[in-house]
Structure 1
Amino acid sequence: MPKAKKHIVIDARIRRSSTGRPVARLLEHLQEIDTDHRYTILLEREDTWLPKAKNFSAVRTRFPNFSFNPLNQVLYAKQLYGLKADLVYFTLSPQQPLLYYKKFATLTHDLVMLQFARAGKLPEWVHAVRMRGYRLLLWDAHRRAKHVVVPTQYVADAVNKYHLFTNRKTTVMHEASEPPLSGKAIAPADFPQNFIMYTGSAFPHKNLERLVTAFGLLREQHPNLKLILVGKREWHSKKLEKWIRKNSPYFEDVVFTGFIPDEELKWYYEHARAYVFASLNEGFGLPGLEAMVHGCPVVSSNASCLPEVNGDAALYFNPEDVHEMAAKIDEVISSEPLRKKLIAKGYENTKRFSFRKFATQHVQMFKDLLGE
């Protein structure tokens, strides 16, 4: 009789979120390269993902990613025990229930919730209680995990800084950018002629208020310039819009696109004078790579992991200095030779990262943890 395949459960409940995009690609590549293990993928009830490989199956769960509810903790642990896994891989620390004691590994994307803990809209006391609970779960995840995966050395160092256990069982596995958007780029109905852009959320650590302030300084030299903010409209972006209307004389030239189709996003990348990433803290900083893969020059914050990921393919600024930010953006949008140099370096930089390598590293980790 052939030897039974070891059973790996991957908690992929975050697959459909922006944070979960690397997880979605991990599942795609694992199906292509690993036939030696049996996989069960745990998904949200609403997720319609279906496996293509015969050694993969999908199971839905009704439990949320983070829950301090004791009943949810007990019932989710019971569901995990029922799957009889040889190894569970949680793709968002701290997903693991406190009562799950069998072998598991975990992926920590970033520590933004610890480093920018007041990013939400909850009352102060509620937020303080939640943060205590979050830190307890994160500490517990790192304490009990057989291995911790992080996307950059910056996050590995932050794990040590916050005393979430040593790096003796931590491995850096770089994520990657998506391939260039396919299809023909389509201009939006009312497209700008001269603009810089940003894509993503408007959470406080994204530092968009300072970006808008720097944009205001740029307008003195570039009176027709616009700032395009691409991203789903939600509470933080609406709050930012109110702030701009109150504090910037150029609020009409800051454009919130909301969600846009890929064809329009591709057009923005291809026609922007620069992509500006002003973030104060990232775990990997994927947006810069996505701009690079579309041939858009990147002007970036020098904070957190961004120099590690963007290498010499971006022009950097101190994200807390709006004058320096404006000067570096001006340097790029005013010099076609510099733009072309950054575009060429950007294409080269993206070649350092591969989701196939990301998946291959995971398979090796699984084998090591399973004693194979």
Structure 2
Amino acid sequence: MKIAFDAKRFFHNTSGLGNYSRDLVRILSQYYPENEYLLLNKNSSERGIEILEKPNVRFVPTSKGNLSRQLKMGKDAQKQGANIFHGLSGELPLKWGKEPIKKIVTIHDLIFMRYPQYYSFFDRKIHLWKFKKAAGSADKIIAISEQTKRDIITYLKVPESKIEVIYQGCHKAFKEQQSDEFIQQAKEKFNLPGRYILNVGTIEDRKNLLNIVQGIQGTEIPLVVVGKKTGYYKKVEAFIRKNKMEKQVLFLEGVSMDELAVIYKLADIFVYPSFFEGFGIPVIEALFSKTATITSNVSCLPEAGGEDSVYIDPANYLDIGAKIKFLWENESERERRAEKSFAFVQKFNDEPIAVQLMDLYKKNL
């Protein structure tokens, strides 16, 4: 079988959709080496270079010209003899040739419909148009959670029979044991506290960092934050400054994936009070790291967190603070929840996901 991918995100996104794309191609090429995997894009990059070095993975430069991704990528895949084209980020090409090819698209979330205030009017219209076109032309849609599946049915008016839920996993660094020397280097490089709670994710309204900071105000619990700053950061920073919490909250930048894995593993608690997610990969990363997790009781987060994570109302900073304090002071409870959650998270391992993906491809040939 020859499978073509829209590899724009594979090559050019550092997190989120980029990680999903790279992990998907990596695990398929590992567990099903008999197939050929084609990465289509105008250009490649250093990202995912170790995956491209595999003999069954190949970069295919697409035809040049304006809108080549929309108008030419599908035909380029057909010219390569691909049996399946998989759009990895909610989009499919608009134009196709006569050669037979099955079309699959992954839709991660429809946050722009649920929370329109986070998007410009123009972006909402473009996103909705692209997603509707892709959902209409796809032979099958992959939703990354049951929550996303429900949203696709509601907002895109797609029949349930056309959608299959296949969860995503996380980067292999979170499943590996880094050396003692590397762990010590990371501790020193980032000047990590002896004990701390952790939050990872873009620092934006929806991820709700401010309610964590408000929750730990008046305690001595250190908070480490890893994430790209947006305008919302200024709101968080102002609260920290006003309440003299500068020494309590540590913002890290320039963190590699292996360093991030160490930071997760050294944390006492991972806190993720997001208002809405398509899936919530940071929760999976924390569970693989055997770190007790507190997350929201909304959207798909209970799907990712399982029965033994602690759940909070993301709008209630007092609830967040109380549950942080409870776990912070109870080592045996942290360990119990971390161990049980580690058993739960194995369903998001590479092999089960690869099997589900390949079964879907074969059923649609």
User: Following TM superposition, by how much is the alpha carbon of 1:266 offset from its aligned partner in structure 2, in angstroms?
Assistant: 4.3
2:122 to 111, 126, 129: 129
* C-alpha contact 1:213 1:248 (8 A) present in aligned 2: no
User: Following TM superposition, by how much is the alpha carbon of 1:267 offset from its aligned partner in structure 2, in angstroms?
Assistant: 4.4
* C-alpha contact 2:62 2:68 (8 A) present in aligned 1: no
Q: Which residue of 1 aligns with 2:225?
A: 229
2:270 to 264, 272, 275: 275
Q: Say which SS state the counterpart of residue 14 (structure 1) adopts.
A: helix
2:312 to 310, 313, 317: 317
Q: Relative to 1, partners in 2 of residues 1:263 and 1:109: Cα closer, same or farther, differing over 3 Å?
A: closer
Q: Which residue of 1 aligns with 2:303?
A: 308
Q: Which residue of 2 aligns with 1:363?
A: 358
Distance in structure 1 (CA, Å) of the matches to 2:264 and 2:156:
40
2:94 to 87, 92, 98: 98
Q: What residue identity is the alignment partner of 1:155?
A: T
Q: Say which SS state the counterpart of residue 162 (structure 1) adopts.
A: helix
Distance in structure 1 (CA, Å) of the matches to 2:43 and 2:117:
30
* C-alpha contact 1:180 1:294 (8 A) present in aligned 2: no
% identical equivalent positions: 22
Q: What residue identity is the alignment partner of 1:303?
A: V
User: Following TM superposition, by how much is the alpha carbon of 1:242 offset from its aligned partner in structure 2, in angstroms?
Assistant: 4.0
Alignment RMSD (CA, Å): 2.7
User: Following TM superposition, by how much is the alpha carbon of 1:86 offset from its aligned partner in structure 2, in angstroms?
Assistant: 2.7
Q: What residue identity is the alignment partner of 2:83?
A: D
* C-alpha contact 1:228 1:257 (8 A) present in aligned 2: yes
* C-alpha contact 1:319 1:325 (8 A) present in aligned 2: yes
User: Following TM superposition, by how much is the alpha carbon of 1:236 offset from its aligned partner in structure 2, in angstroms?
Assistant: 4.3
* C-alpha contact 1:299 1:314 (8 A) present in aligned 2: yes
Distance in structure 2 (CA, Å) of the matches to 1:302 and 1:113:
20
Q: Which residue of 2 aligns with 1:148?
A: 141
Q: Relative to 1, partners in 2 of residues 1:309 and 1:104: Cα closer, same or farther, differing over 3 Å?
A: same
Distance in structure 2 (CA, Å) of the matches to 1:263 and 1:166:
41
Q: Relative to 1, partners in 2 of residues 1:47 and 1:317: Cα closer, same or farther, differing over 3 Å?
A: same
Q: Which residue of 1 aligns with 2:214?
A: 213
- Of 51-60 and 330-339, deviating more is 51-60
Cα deviations by residue, 1:21-80 (Å, 9 ceiling, x for unpaired): 23222212222333554331224624243535544322135889xxxx767633445544
Matched, 1:60 2:61: yes
Q: Say which SS state the counterpart of residue 118 (structure 1) adopts.
A: helix
Q: What residue identity is the alignment partner of 2:147?
A: Y
Q: Relative to 1, partners in 2 of residues 1:39 and 1:266: Cα closer, same or farther, differing over 3 Å?
A: closer
Q: What residue identity is the alignment partner of 2:198?
A: M
Q: Relative to 1, partners in 2 of residues 1:76 and 1:267: Cα closer, same or farther, differing over 3 Å?
A: closer
Cα deviations by residue, 1:80-132 (Å, 9 ceiling, x for unpaired): 454443321111102x2333476311011222233233335xxxxxx212211
Q: Relative to 1, partners in 2 of residues 1:100 and 1:235: Cα closer, same or farther, differing over 3 Å?
A: farther
Distance in structure 2 (CA, Å) of the matches to 1:350 and 1:230:
22
Unpaired runs of 5+ in structure 1?
Answer: 1-5, 121-126
Q: Say which SS state the counterpart of residue 347 (structure 2) adopts.
A: coil
Matched, 1:180 2:176: yes
Q: Which residue of 2 aligns with 1:17?
A: 14
Q: Normalising by the residue count of structure 1, what TM-score does the alignment of the two structures yield?
A: 0.84
Q: Say which SS state the counterpart of residue 235 (structure 1) adopts.
A: coil
* C-alpha contact 2:108 2:278 (8 A) present in aligned 1: yes
Distance in structure 2 (CA, Å) of the matches to 1:157 and 1:260:
35
Q: Relative to 1, partners in 2 of residues 1:210 and 1:146: Cα closer, same or farther, differing over 3 Å?
A: same
* C-alpha contact 1:29 1:359 (8 A) present in aligned 2: yes
More helix per residue: 2
2:337 to 342, 355, 363: 342
Q: What residue identity is the alignment partner of 2:22?
A: A
Matched, 1:88 2:76: no
Distance in structure 1 (CA, Å) of the matches to 2:292 and 2:42:
37
Distance in structure 2 (CA, Å) of the matches to 1:199 and 1:209:
13
Q: Which residue of 2 aligns with 1:124?
A: none
Distance in structure 2 (CA, Å) of the matches to 1:246 and 1:63:
50
User: Following TM superposition, by how much is the alpha carbon of 1:198 offset from its aligned partner in structure 2, in angstroms?
Assistant: 0.7
Q: Which residue of 2 aligns with 1:168?
A: 161
Q: Relative to 1, partners in 2 of residues 1:54 and 1:180: Cα closer, same or farther, differing over 3 Å?
A: closer
Unpaired runs of 5+ in structure 2?
Answer: none
Q: Say which SS state the counterpart of residue 277 (structure 2) adopts.
A: coil
Q: Which residue of 1 aligns with 2:250?
A: 255
Q: What residue identity is the alignment partner of 1:51?
A: L
* C-alpha contact 1:119 1:203 (8 A) present in aligned 2: no
Cα deviations by residue, 1:250-283 (Å, 9 ceiling, x for unpaired): 2442211112245643443343231101111112
* C-alpha contact 2:202 2:230 (8 A) present in aligned 1: no
- Of 184-193 and 241-250, deviating more is 241-250
Q: How many residues align?
A: 348
